[in-house]
Structure 1
Amino acid sequence: MFHTLRARPHARALLLLLSSIAWPALLLAAAPQAPEPEWTPSPDGQWLHQRSTGLVWQRCVVGMHWTGKDCAGQPLWADHLQASAHARQRAKADGRPWRLPHLKELQQLARLGAQKTPPSLLPASGEGWVWTATIPIEVRSVNPYSYGNVMNGVTGQNVSQMKFLHAWVVNTATGETRDDVLKRTPMFVRLVRKSDEP
């Protein structure tokens, strides 16, 4: 019993020592960590990586390159067929799956462009209407008895066929979208791919 009573002060001292070490460590572990940024540029600045989707974007539209402060060069104006062909050629040349972005993906990039918070991750040069890989599939119903439709020869069938002549575009300066742009119209081209990192 005497040894038990004598050991208690040492146990208390040991307990105080451990708590003085453990509490700061626990507080540091519990401290909120700064969240990882959603968008980060590549070391050379040519690409932007989007953390939540794992997508890698060209920072500048096709035909332009990042100078360290802005995009320079002559942007490529291409119709939808040419833009799709360019994406396939780039994928083959680089050995990476470059493609045209889908509508929702390009809208996220447009929101980044609209932030305009310095330093701007998405430069203003080269902003404008950009092709997407998304084709409109909703077809409006057509009243076959409407005088205007009868006079213009508009039917449900040819409206459906007309929709396949259009594609969605996104204005990266404003975030505005349209699904009524003819595929033969020249627009900017911006490519995207999945990140090489898991």
Structure 2
Amino acid sequence: MSRSLQAPGLRRHHVLFWLLLWSIAWPALVLAASPPAQEPEWTPSRDGQWLLQRSTGLVWQRCLVGMQWNGKDCVGQPQWADHMQASALARQRAKADALPWRLPHLKELQVLAQLGQQKARPRLLPESTEGWVWTASIPIEVRNVNPYNYGNVMNGVSGQNVSQLKFLHAWVVNTATGESRDDVLKRTPMFVRLVRKADAP
């Protein structure tokens, strides 16, 4: 008779035991089944001066050359430079920081321009830094030339000499719109933004 009286109590203890075990195990199972949190593609440095792009390992200047990050925006006057001056500014910065700063390649700057077009707040790429920026990329394809285009006439560009003039041009990218052009003479003043590899010493 005592066994029959104890059985319901034992059953209750078993139920409570399994409920307790399940309450402990369930959160762990949920966490294990949840996908790991993905790291953001773009991360500002602690001082906000640089942006790290995770997928490429590139570190970008957040501000144009001549400007500084003040914690909220880029302030100061961006430095205008022709292509030769822009390359010299990159070398000077690399020497001063002992880091391999350089002009970005076309595809790299096009990706950065996509970030500039994102309207999320806070903006990682400030509107104050948007505009036409030099790349290190040089046009390599011979393009057709309209001899009646005013710009071509003024620059002396014709179908006969366009291939010889290719070395006088470089690619530029508008970080506000993502537009790119390969017909800009290297002597034209443009904005400058530098980039380097994150794992560089």
TM over 0.5: yes
The change in CA–CA distance for 1:121 and 1:102 in structure 2 (over 3 A counts) is same
1:21-170 maps to which residues of 2 (within 5 A)? 22=25, 24-140=27-143, 154=158, 156=160, 158-170=161-173
Number of equivalences: 178
Q: Structure 2: give runs of 5+ residues left out of the alignment.
A: 1-13, 148-155
Contact 2:100 2:200 in 1 (8 A): no
Please list the CA deviations of residues 18-67 of structure 1 after superposition, one character each: whole Å capped at 9, or x if unmatched.
Answer: x7455542321121233211111000000000011100000010000011
Please list the CA deviations of residues 107-144 of structure 1 after superposition, one character each: whole Å capped at 9, or x if unmatched.
Answer: 111110111210011001121000000000011368xx
**Aligned-partner Cα distance in 2 for 1:153–1:124:** 34
**Aligned-partner Cα distance in 2 for 1:50–1:187:** 24
- Across the aligned residues of Structure 1 and Structure 2, the Cα RMSD in angstroms comes to 2.7
Q: Secondary structure at the match of 2:68?
A: strand
Percent identity (aligned): 77
**What TM-score, normalized to structure 1?**
0.81
Contact 2:99 2:200 in 1 (8 A): no
Query: Runs of 4+ in structure 1 displaced over 4 angstroms?
Result: 152-156
Equivalent position amino acid for 1:34 in 2: A
**Aligned-partner Cα distance in 1 for 2:63–2:91:** 18
**Aligned-partner Cα distance in 2 for 1:86–1:167:** 16
Q: Structure 1: give runs of 5+ residues left out of the alignment.
A: 1-11, 147-151
1:74, distance to aligned residue in structure 2 (A): 1.2
The change in CA–CA distance for 1:32 and 1:105 in structure 2 (over 3 A counts) is same
